Amino acid sequence: MLQKMGHEVSREPQITFPDKQYRQVNNFKAEEQMAFISHTLNAIKKLYSSGKYESTAWDQKGVDKFMNDLYRQTSELDQCVKSMKTRLSKSVKRVNKKMSLHFKFLKNYLKREEYSASGWEDIRTVVLAHLHRLDTTLSIQ
């Protein structure tokens, strides 16, 4: 869904992808990976919850479907993580903290770009990369 929303952008985004954190997650136990996935999906949900994408040419029905799917996934995954009652290791907490900082940067980037279409397009590209990486995270083990 997110892939269909985008358009070509003529400039390089000024956003660094957190590859190092994803490499570290590959060494986590499955329960810790699920906690990381939950944390990251919630950060994506929070980023898009601003609703300030009027400047984009995105189809509102597509955005609504993406957000509904994201809310459903985070809700179900949060319940799953909560039921595991796994104590997170320091490394998981450290990676989650760095991801929180990454998403805070994304939020501030959008503000600096004044929620412009090109700013949202940069964010969409990065979030799409996150979703691809998250999709392969649990399947690596």
At 141, the pLDDT band (50, 70, 90 cuts) reads: low
Q: CA 85 from chain center: how many Å?
A: 23
- Tell me what pLDDT residue 18 has: 96
- Express each pLDDT in 66-110 by its tens digit: 999 999 999 999 999 999 887 889 999 999 999 999 999 999 999
CATH number of 17-140: 1.20.1250.10
The domain segmentation of the chain, as residue ranges, is 17-140
pTM of the shown model: 0.88
CA distance 27 to 15: 25
- Tell me what pLDDT residue 8 has: 53
Q: Token pair of 27, please?
A: 């060494």
User: Residue type for 65, please?
Assistant: K
- Tell me what pLDDT residue 85 has: 80
Residue indicated by tokens 């906690």:
35
Contacts of residue 55, defined as CB under 8 A and 6 or more positions apart, other chains included, come to 115, 116, 117, 120
